[in-house]
Each structure stands twice: as structure tokens, then as C-alpha cells.
Chains A and B, each alone.
Chain A
Amino acid sequence: MKKSIKYIALCFAALPLLNSCKKDFLDVNPTGETSLESNYYKNAAEIFKGVVAAYDPLGSETGGTYSSKLGLLNTASDDCGVGGGSATDQASWAVWDNFTISVGQGPQGDLWGRNYTGIYRANLILNKVDGVTDLSSAMKGRYIAEMKVLRAYYYFDLVRLFKNVPLITAPIPTADIFNLAQAKPEAIYAQIEKDLQEAIAEANLPATVPASTEGGRMTKGTAKALLGKVFLYEKKWAEAAGQLADVNGTPGGTSAYGYKLLSNFGDIFKPTNKFNSESIFEIVHTAQARQDWGGWGAFEGNVMVQMVGPRNYGGPTYVTGWGFCPITMDLVNVIKNDPRYPYTIANVDSIVAATAGGAYEKGYQNTGYFIEKYAPKLQYRSSLGGLGDLNYPYDYIEIRLADTYLMEAEALTQSNANAGRAKQLMDAVRARVGLPGVPVTLQSIYNERRLELATEGHRFFDLIRTNTAAAALTGFTAGKNEVLPIPLSEINNTKLVQNAGY
């Protein structure tokens, strides 16, 4: 009896030791897709996932709120109002429509954040790519060039939207996070030019990519078009014309990078006609992600498409949307007799009037006219799964050939060089839609840009860079509203300085 007591007591006394002897008991490793940053980016597959992540912010549709860059730029321009269900449906959009934007309210946070997210991820790849063991030098060269083009693109957005932004080209040590200052805009432009020049010089950056599998990846053509555009914004007319001439080639013909105007204007924006010969820089959206609201912040579909559809719509062709970005009567009046009108503007009033039982809800600032290039259409609505509203597969075309034609024509006209080519470029754009040529002046180019590129996100920047915003935009304060306020989160506890006027 006594023995057994002692034996059992001993067993119990030993039990606690079992718990604590296993030193690694508390270690838990992440499972599945997740791993630690410290041991990631070691092989070609991992670095490629990082490359994809650097592309990801291009298509950002939501952040703190809806923040489609194109939707917002349309709202800010004189092509569209803000719309929605009421004046306050999307307050951060409405304040850019009427320029009551303030430090506390506006779209600046999301627009700032998405670009710096892209820059961080591009910097990370540029920083990590040397540590990858199984990557060919050709792939490495290509990734580096792609990251530089993307970084240039993100900085170009930042410098245009905010003007005074910090320049970050490598991961920031934690200790330095709060000590950065803004760079001069010229320094940002210099970095953009440098990145793009280096990318263009990289032999492994392809001139073109196969549209079916790699459409949307950065190419030499993309880099050159972007660089030409950057030069144009810097008013470096000759350099702009030089880069854009390479992109454009012979007006009306196929350029060295495979670009050619589509013969049918209406085909440019069809989701079934992605990466067509006119598209130079395309931001891709897909229905494959089959997302629902849980995807907020990482939508892969084009949510702006849903936003700009007529509200509670019952009728043919379109699907109901949320009534944002209604076309202003100003644009309607300018374009209504142009052959591009039906491809640019959806006249929903006349459609429902012609349909038995047709109806839609007239939202805020309703004019009856809606964006057509990105209108939610029944035939393109996804039925793959997820919410159709959130999975429209429409791509944004950030730069297309008609744009680079007109930009080159503008650069030539500004520098009084090669007026003949400028005319050819303008004529090609107009001839495509069956319009006769017009005399080339800066004003006629600007007019053409508005008609050709309406609701494609260029108008607001064009008004700013041509110094015509105050005249065109109600509520616009010159000397202030050319740029957005630096987001509040960036000013708190940092060395950043707010933009003038805010």
C-alpha cells in the first residue's frame, strides 16, 4: 500500500515537468499560403508573387471608401458631376466635385495610399531580387524594369495629385519612418524620368507582350508612352515629341511597338476586346475573383462600372448601378453632334422612354446622361459567381494611341516643330470617326482631346496643366485646388508640410 502511494505520488510530481520540458511548445508556425517576411522572396515563384503585388494597386477600386481613380477624376472634371443617391452619398467624392475638399474630407487618403503601396512593393522587389537564387538574369532584368515603370507611374500620379511628396526608393528603416521630408517636384520628376529611361534601356523589358497571357504587363511601348506624357507635363516639348513619335510611328499606321488605331471607335472599350492595338497602358480587371462584399479593399472587378450605372434601372442593355458620375450638360452640349457621342454617353432618359415599363431612379445631379465607355451592360456582367455588381471585367485604358497622337501633336505645336506631322496625327484621330481635318492649334487639340478622351480620366489634368481649370470648374480656387491636400495621416507626427491653401 505504502509503496503504491509513493509510486503514484511520484508520477504526479513528474507530470508538471512534462508540460514545461518541451521548450518549443509555444512556437506556432503560420500555415498555408502564409509565411514570414524574413524567409520569403527566396525563389522565382515567390518573387513573382511579389511582382504581382506591385501591380495590384493599379486596379485599386476601394480603400477607406470607394476610390476608383478614374471615377474620382471624372467627378473632379467638368465632364461629370458626382451623382449617387443623394448629395452626401459619397461625401469624399462630392467635395472634389464642388471643390469644398478639405484636410478632413476628401479622396486624398486613398489616392495617396494606393500609390505609396505600389511604390513600397516595387521598392521591396528591387531590394529583394538579388537574393533570389533560381532566377535567370533575363527575368531579373525584366522584373527590375517592370518595377521601375510601375514606380514611375505611381510617382507620376502622386506628383500630379499632390505635387509635394516624399521620395522613397528603398524600404525605409523603422527608425527613419517619421523623419522623411517632401522632395521638390522636380526631384520627383527626375526620378520618374530616370526610372523610365533605365527601364527603356533594359534589354530584357519586352517591346511587346503576348496579349492573351501577358497583356497588362509593362513593356517598352508603355514606358515610352508614359515618359512622353511625363515630358509633356514638364513642358519638355521636344523630349515629349521624341518619345511619343516612337510610340506613334506613322500616323494611321502600325508603329514599331505594334500600336495602331482601331478602325471602329466603339470597339476600344469593349471588355471583349482587351489589349487591342490601340491600348498602350491598360489596367486590368477581371470577374475571375468572383468576389462579394468580403473582398472590400481588394476588388479585382471594376466597381466604378457598377457605380456609374443608372440607379434602380429597369430597361434594356444596361444593368442597374448607383448613379455616379452623371454626364454634365456641358459635355453633352459639346459632344452631342459628334460621331463619338453614342459611344461616349448613354442617354438613359430616351432609352427608358422608349421601353414599356422602363424606369430608373433619378439620383443626385441627374441629367439623364451617363458614362457609356464604362457603363454596366448586361452582356458583360459576370455570371461566374460572386456578386455581379462587384465583378465587372472592364479594363481601364490609362494611355491609348489616340491620346499619344494628340499629345505628340500638342508637343509639336508647342515647340513649333513639324506642323505637318502634327496635322497628320490630328487628322488620323478625326478620320477614324469620319470627321474631316481641322486646322491644328493648341485650342483645336484641346477640343479634340476633350471629345476623343471624354470620361477617360484625362480632362481634369488637362485643365490643370493648361491653366484653364478655374474657368471650367465651378468652385475651383486657383492656387489651391490644382492639387489635393496632403492627407492628415501624413502630417501627424511627421515632417511633412501641408499644401498651400489647405
Chain B
Amino acid sequence: MLCFAFFAMATIMAQNQNVTGKVTDEKGAGIPKASIIVKGGKTGTSTDENGMFNLSVPGAAKSILISSQGYIVKEVAITGVPLNITLTTSVSSMEEVVVVGYGTQKKSVVTGAISSVKASDIDNQPIVRIEQFLQGRASGVTIAASSGQPGASSTLRIRGTTSINNSDPLYVVDGIPVDIGGIDYLNPNDIESIEVLKDAASAAIYGARAASGVILVTTKKGKAGKTMLSYNGYYGTQAPSKKLDLLNATEYATLQNEASLASGGGIKFANPSALGKGTDWQALIFNNSAKIQDHEISISGGNDKSTFYTSFGLFSQEGIVASDISDYKRFNFRFNGIHKINKWFSLGTNIGYSHIKSLGIGNTNSEYGGPLSSAINLDPITQSIITDPSIIASSYGLGSTGGLPAVTDGMGNPYGISKIVGQEMANPLAYIKNRIGNYGWSDNLVGNAFVEIEPVKGLKIRSNLGAKIAFWGNESFSPTFYLNASTSNDVNSFYTENDRGLNYTWENTASYTRNIAAHHFTALVGTGAYLDNYLSRRSGVTYRKLSVNTFEEAKSMNFAVLPANVLGWGGDYTQHKVSSVYGRLTYDYAEKYLFTGIMRRDGSSRFGSNNKYGYFPSGSVGWVASKENFWPENKVVSFFKLRGSYGVTGNDNIGDFQYVSTITGGKNYTFGATDLYTIGNSPSGLANPDLKWEQTSQTDIGFEASMFKNWTVSFDWYQKKTTGMLRVVDVPLYVGVGGYTGNVCSMDNTGFELELGFHKTISNVKLELKGNVSHLKNNVSFLGKGIEFLGGGASLQSTQYPLSRIAIGHPIGAFYGFERLGIFQNQGEVDSYVSKAGAKIQPVAKPGDIKWADLNADGTINADDRTFIGDPTPDWSYGFTASAALKGFDLVVFGQGVAGNDIFNGLRRLDIANANWTTKALNRWTGAGTSNDFPRLTNDDPNHNYSNPSTFYLEKGDYFRIKVLQLGYTLPFALTNKVLVQKVRVYVSGNNLLTLTNYSGYDPEIGGSSYGIDRGYYPQARSFTAGLNLTF
């Protein structure tokens, strides 16, 4: 649309004429919202719901241009009679324009690998964050939610994990890089399109910050023409889609007795059957009717000089777990405007503001308590609420609770405290009560202002100044409480934190486009300066020993606190600066032979003095074979483009001051009986002035084609090699100080991506299918001289060894542990499992214990028998959208899935012998022939059946999920027009309706820092919503 506005420069004529008509598709159905513009003029309108239009045009106007997304632009002469205009579908979608860094390009001449998702692809779907916009809709992008907590971020990886350190992509919103932590300020409803720059050739224009790919977000802009007022909203309820099958009280007591007897203890519960079903802790924390709602009003419009888009959004979502302390609310405001002062000078602004308030359960995937982990691990015997006065008197008095108050419900009845399961596993109801009121908040204002001049035709000079101002913090109250013997708090406190951040960017570009016959050139040069964390500070205050005991009372701070009980802290965020110069040359001959070359130089405050600046070049070529004369006119392949690229990008997300030896604190010591707690400082490590960015080079070969009239295909194969990944070069501990950070490790990602599109109208039913599938293989190739693997790895409380390992020749984070050969069914099998020398390999094993594979055949089972047993990263990820429209009805199905990954099921705490089990434990080994999978239950576990990380805990993580199933109905225009409403659409939508998986936990989609490890994961909700779209 903007393009048309740019060309609309004719002078206004005195006399006007009226043009009317109808725009239809090939089947004769009216096309709504098609754009009508006078050729060479500035006047325009759009069609109504039936494709009708009526436009007053200058008398001199000769013809009009009609365009609509998905159709080829058509020019029609003005004849004075009503026009019947039929648009042809642009099956190839090659006429589309895609956003590339610092500009746009016609899709048909793009030589890089770019995936595009448009607002129309996600219309009315309940999308809270930008990551969900892309999930399943863009190939080569793997996304896993870090939790189902409302507002939670997702782990987003473009073409796999690029670095062992930081693999987050660069987000660029309307040309301004926005840090990933603040990206949730963006209301998905305001997004017009997202482009994912996947290959190095596309991303290299962002140089040292582009190694993990770039996500370009373009927000909605106004269009010249009638002012449009729209309301979009939905309301719905959510519920967990699954509960774990945990043992009931009788089953639990029976198995506890068995485990106790097996380890030489006595019977713990004399009469299990008398205990009945007991407490269902899960039922107490799950909310089956958690609310979700979203409302947005947008106004857009403009004329040939100015256009604007403004919106107000309000979103709120309750969590399905512990809704009292799990909640997310966001208020958004956006104003985007462009103003053309004259034909060569324009300026504009894009401003977005958001306010977010979120409540969190504090523990969304951790084995250390919290509502989920506690509900899973707590015994079902303990009552949730104690009402029996005699029990209250005997066990809930201050004498029994360490002098601290037991947490009570509104009636004053104490929440039950388990005497059986302790540690962090507290009664979730009491845990919830203690956190009520605590919240986090943020205010983000992100905006940019630009001026653009075109002093001579084809030369555009643009200066773009952007800023992000963020304020965020949290307030929480911790009462004095006694949850159990190991979880209590004897001093109440109120904590309030206030942070602020300010980021600036300033970019200046000049681009020149020139066509000489069939030679098309575009040259771009630019500079950029980026400053993060300018005047950015954080500070917090803790007020202790308060005379009140709830958040509500505490937050007023309307009481005296002794100075000694006020503890404050604060500090600056370290500034991060980047200074850049870049250029790009794009050339094509007759849109047939294509070439793009890019060079960027970035300097970063994070690089060492010997490597302050890095150069990032890339080149790509394309050949549109279907434009060749020899390409026969045919119905099979109407468009075919082959392309290839190679480029180098960098990652400066490597932390500050990695290259120097800084003096750091925390080496404190205390002197004297008066407790003089004294600050001690010493160097943090050795210096490395050679430190630089992590470098990724990538080769991409692909093709795009339009086939069989209705099909589009896009395919890419790539190989991505990351070198110089930062790692602390371990020096021996005898050096006495940490090693230095060096550019050491290497990793490869290889994969391919396929995107398919189909659309056709079959007897009035408009069908559209979009699908994509990606395959990825990640391989760590170098970790340092003589280093086969890195120490550490993911841990789970009380396992014998880490769960995962980064090792050469294996994917990052691969699960590492023991393999099983089954279960010893009898003593004979234990005795006959012998080494070559004839000695028993597992001398302490008893019947019912796991028979471990002695992989190194040394006759014992120890750390050296571990191997790579699984991979948390999917080999395959895929998604599809199918939509059909008939008359006023429309139906959309969106599904998405992954395959080829494993999940480590770490739901049960190992060091809590009395923790509950899932019903899988009912099938444990209890005698010869009873099980060859689930070992005997025993509290001492001398064979490490449970404490060895092994294939016992691994489950297939494959899933396929119907994310959205939506049915809508648009009221006939004739009806709605009577009340001056352009469009009324109502719809119902089911989200996460169905998940096909063999994984036994809540949810197979486990992202975040505990990728692929389930410690009590907060599952995503299944929801039903009903919505309304209104356009005036």
C-alpha cells in the first residue's frame, strides 16, 4: 500500500468523477478489502464485504489499480460505467514483498532463506507472545514454551542451537533491535508481518549479532483511505489437558511398606486399605476454568500525506495451576504514523507502550517444591486441611511448629503438614497462601522516529533514531510461616525492587536504486551506533520484622520499620555498545540472474583489545530458471528459482568484560567477636585481550517453485558451522584463580526445510493449506585441545551423575547415562552376570534390581559405563495450517509437532524416599516374571536403580498437537451494513485440543533452561474461546 502512496503525486484537478464497480475472484465471489487506487493519483478506497466499491476520482484520471493480497495487481481503464473486475490469484505469492534488513525486496528476487509469517496467518488465534506467532508457521524455527505459566517466554532456535552459550536470535522491531528480555512488550495483534532471516546471506547485514538468526518484526501501519475502526476480542476458559496418575493413599502406603521392608525397615503403615483414596493434591492446585481474554481496538486510516495506525489492547490470562498466584495482564498502546511533507521528504514514528503485571508460582519446572513438584511428590495420606480440633491441638500448636505459625485457611484451619514427605515439598495450598499478592511488573516504551529524504530519484537517505525505555520490578512479601520442618521462615519481610533500563540506537542509511535497461541495481550503505544499558540501574529494598503479616498490609508501608531492618542494595547495569558500518549491493538482470553481496563491520565493547572490530561478509546468487526462454510454458512448474548463499555472522552475546581480569567481590571474611563482616576482593580470572565474537559461517542452497497452478514449494538445505564459541579455558585448580575466557569450541548444524502452500477454490469453498517441515542435526565438533567433553551437565537432585553431557560428536545437551539389560528376575541371574574373569558384575544386586550394561566390559558397573542415551532436541519439527471458507463460514485448523527427541522424566525426588509415585510403580518388579522394566522398590537402593541416570527415565518426546481449531461466521454484509458495521464475525476456537504423544508427563513441550527435562513442568492449558471481530 505504501508504495502506491509514494507514487501518488499528481496534482489535484478541479473536477471529479465517480467510479463504481465490483471486484471478484475467478469464481465470481466478491473480494472484500481489495484496494482501489487511481493510477498516478493519490485517491483510494477499498472494497466492502461483497467486493463493491465507489470512488470519487479526479476527472483526468484514466485508470485505477486494484490489488489484494494473494492476487495479481490489475490495472483497469475508467470507462464511466460500473466496472466488473476479476482478479487472478497470484498462486506463486512471488509478487509479495518481503522485509529484509534495511529495506524490502520482491520475494521473487530474494536470494536468501527467509520465512515470512503474516498477520493474516494468525488472525484471531490466542497468541500471547511473539514466539507463538512463529511456532509451527515458519520452517527452520524450533520453539518450545518454557512453561505454561501465563506470559512465559519460549525457547526459540533458528536452525538449531547455534552456540553452547547463547543462541537467542536478534529481534528487530521496525528497524530497531530490541533485547529479548523486553520483547513481550509487543502485542501480537499489532504485528503486520514477521520475517525470519535464517541463512547467513540474509542475516549478515546484522553482522556481529546475527549468528543465531534475525527476526524482523513489522508493525501495522495505516492505509490511505477511509478510517477504519476495529474491535477484536475473545473470551474463554482454560483447563489442564491432563492429570498425572499418582498413587492414592492405599496404593501409596502399600508400596511404601514394600520399599521399607526391602531396605530392612519395618512396616510403615499398618493398614493401608483403611487410608482410602486420600488427598488428590493435583486437584487442589489445578483450575479447570481459568479465564483468558483479549480485547483490542484499533483505528487506522489516513490520506495521501499522512497515515496512522493506533491500537489499544488489553489481555489477561489466569494460570491453570494455582491461579491465585499465576496470572498475567498486559495493557498495550501503539501509535504508528507516517507523514509526507513533500514529494521528497517524509518522516514517521512507531511507538509502542506496554504495562505488564504478572504473578508467578515461582517454580515452573524444578524439583525443589512449588505447587506442581509438591503435588507430585507429597504423600496422599496427609490431609490438605486439618479440621479436627484434637489434631490441631496436638500437632499444629507453636510447640510442634518450631514456634512459628502454621499456615491456615480463611476459616483458621491449618493446612495439613506432612510428617511423611518433607524437604521443599510443602502443602501447595499453604505455599499459595504465602505468596498471595506478590507480583512483578514492567513498563516498556519502545519507539523510533525517522526522517527520509529522496533528493534525487532512486536515492533515499534515512536517519532512524530508536529508544527503549523500560522500568520493571517486583514486590513480594514473605510472612513468618511454618510449612514443614525444613521449610519455614522466622522473620517476615517485604521486598520491593525497581529497575530501569535505557537503550538507544541510531542508524543512518543511504540507498540508491537504478535501473539500466534490464539491469537492476540497489546499493545500500549505512552506519549504526547502539548503546544498551545507558543509565540503567537496579535497586531493591528489604524491610524486615514487620508488624503485619500479609502482602496487602505490608505494601502500604504504613508503619514504622527500624533502620536496622531496612536492607537496600543497588547497582548499575554494564553498558553494551556496538558501532557498525555496513553495505549491501543487490543486482539482478531481468529478474533472472540475481546477486546480493553484503559486508558489515561491527565493533563491540565486549571484544578484547586485540580484536575490537569484526568483518562479516556474505554473498548470494539466484537464478530464476523459469524466466529463461528455453523454459517451456507448462502447467507443472510455472516458476522456479534456484539460489545459493554463503556468509559469516557473529555473536556478541558473550557477556561483558570477559576479556579482562576484573577485581570481583564476594571473597569476604569475618573478624572478631563483634562479627566484623569484611569485604574481600580478588581477581576473577586471567585476562584474554584476544577475545572476540563467536563466528558462524553458513552455506545455504535452496529453490522455490510454483507448481500445478495451486502449489508453492520452497526448499532449503544448509550447513552452519559455529567456531570460536566461548568457553572458560580451564586452567588447573592449582593456579588458584579461574581460567580465562577464550574462543575455543565449534559446533555444526545441518538441516533442511520444506515449506508447502496450496490454495484453491473448489465449488465456492476457499481452501488454503500451508505446511512446513524441518530437519536438524546438531553436532559438537571441538571443545578444546584434548577435551572430549565438558564437565557438568544438567543435574537432578541426588542422581549419581549429571543427566547430560556436551561432548564431541554428539548433539548439545545429549542425555548421558546407563543402559539397561532388563531386571534380574532371580538370584541366579545376578550370580550368572559375570565378567570374563568370572566375578559378579553387580555383586550387591538383588532380584528385582536393574541389570546394567557393562559397556566397557571391565567387570564392574561404574561411571565409565555411561553412554549417550538420548537427545532433548527434536530431529524434526513441523506444522500446518488448513483453512476453508464457504459463504460466511470459515474454518481453520492449525497443528504442530516435533519428532525424534527424548524427555528425561525427573518428576519424583530421589532423596525423598517417601515421595509419591505415579501408577507406573504399581507395575514394579515384585517377583520373578512380574516386570522387566520397573525395578523393585527399596529405600536404600544399593544398586542405584533410581539414582543412576539411565534409559529408565527417558521417554520419547514426539508429539503432534492440534494447537487451534477455529470456526467462524461472518454475518452477511447486507445485514450488518444496515447498522453501519462493515464486518461482524463471530467465532469459537479450541486451543491445544489434542496432543498425541507417548510422553507420560503433563506436557511434552518442555523449553526453557531445563530443556527436555521434566521436573514438574507447568503444562500449557487447553482452552476454549469465543470471539468477536467488528469493523466499522
Contacts and interface: CB of A to CB of B under 8 A. Distances in A.
13 contacts: A5-B344, A5-B455, A34-B657, A52-B679, A58-B669, A87-B942, A211-B672, A274-B673, A275-B673, A284-B669, A284-B670, A311-B486, A312-B486
A172 B681 contact: no
Interface in A387-407: 388-389, 393
B677 interface: yes
Contacts of B453: 5, 8-9, 12
B417 to A, nearest CB: 10
A208 B567 CA distance: 35
Interface residues of B, number: 97
Contacts, number: 277
B394 interface: yes
Interface in B782-810: 785-787, 791, 798, 800
B941 A357 contact: no
A285 B662 contact: no
A30 B657 contact: yes
Contact of B484 (A168, A290, A312): A312
A56 B419 contact: no
A216 B682 contact: no
A46 interface: yes
Contact of B674 (A213, A384, A494): A213
B944 A312 contact: no
Given A53-B667, A53-B680, A212-B673, A20 B579 contact: yes
Interface string B464-498: 00000000000000000000111000110100000
Given A6-B455, A37-B661, A361-B422, A12 B911 contact: no
Contacts of B676: 213
B673 A385 contact: no
A124 B571 CA distance: 28
Interface string A439-466: 0000000000000000000000000000
A12 B461 contact: yes
A99 B951 CA distance: 29
B689 to A, nearest CB: 11
B952 to A, nearest CB: 15
A215 B672 contact: yes
B583 to A, nearest CB: 11
Contacts of A180: 732, 734
A301 B734 CA distance: 26
B490 A177 contact: no
A85 interface: yes
Interface string B604-615: 110000001000
Interface in B843-877: 862-864
Interface string A289-314: 11000000010100000000001111
Given A25-B529, A54-B680, A120-B736, 13 more contacts: A12-B463, A34-B657, A37-B683, A58-B669, A59-B669, A85-B913, A88-B798, A212-B673, A214-B671, A214-B672, A298-B666, A393-B675, A492-B787
B681 A168 contact: no
Interface string B894-931: 00000000000000001111000000000000000000
B953 interface: no
Interface in A50-79: 50-56, 58-59
Contacts of B737: 117, 120
B484 to A, nearest CB: 7
A274 B976 CA distance: 85
A16 interface: yes
Interface stretch (A108-116, A188-196, A246-254): A108-116
Nearest to A63: B733
Contacts of A385: 491, 493, 542, 544, 567
B798 A86 contact: yes
Nearest to B738: A117
B672 A121 contact: no
A35 interface: yes
Contacts of A37: 660-663, 683, 687
Given A52-B668, A56-B667, A119-B736, A19 B941 contact: no
A34 B491 contact: no
A179 to B, nearest CB: 11
A44 to B, nearest CB: 14
A166 interface: yes
B939 A124 contact: no
B400 A49 contact: no
A490 B734 contact: yes
Given A9-B453, A12-B510, A50-B682, A312 B422 contact: yes
Contacts of B493: 385
Contact of B863 (A53, A104, A168, A289): A104
Nearest to A118: B736
Contacts of B677: 286, 288-289, 300
Given A216-B670, A357-B394, A490-B734, A288 B526 contact: no
Contact of B672 (A46, A120, A210): A210
A402 B734 CA distance: 34
Interface residues of A, number: 109
B731 interface: yes
B37 interface: no
Interface in A1-47: 5-6, 8-9, 12-13, 15-16, 19-20, 25-28, 30-38, 40, 46
Nearest to B604: A26
A120 B733 CA distance: 10
Interface string B636-672: 0000000000000000000011001111111111111
Contacts of B422: 311-312, 361
A313 B485 contact: yes
B408 interface: no
A26 B579 contact: yes
Interface in A73-99: 84-89, 91
Contacts of B663: 33-37, 40
B576 interface: yes
Nearest to B525: A16
B508 interface: yes
A116 B911 CA distance: 32
Contacts of B544: 385
B177 to A, nearest CB: 15
B944 A46 contact: no
Contacts of A264: none
A88 to B, nearest CB: 5
Contact of A102 (B394, B490, B574, B862): B862
A6 B456 CA distance: 10
Given A20-B579, A28-B574, A120 B510 contact: no
A494 B732 contact: yes
B798 to A, nearest CB: 6
A50 B735 CA distance: 17
A223 B680 CA distance: 22
A107 to B, nearest CB: 13
Contacts of A166: 734
Contacts of B672: 210-216, 275
A178 interface: yes
A285 B682 contact: no
B675 A286 contact: yes
A32 B672 CA distance: 27
A213 B528 CA distance: 56
B551 to A, nearest CB: 18
Contacts of A55: 669, 680
B368 to A, nearest CB: 9
Nearest to B400: A357
B605 A26 contact: yes
B668 A109 contact: no
Contacts of B678: 52
B506 interface: yes
Interface in B426-464: 453, 455, 461, 463
A383 B735 CA distance: 38
Contacts of A364: 940
B288 interface: no
B686 interface: yes
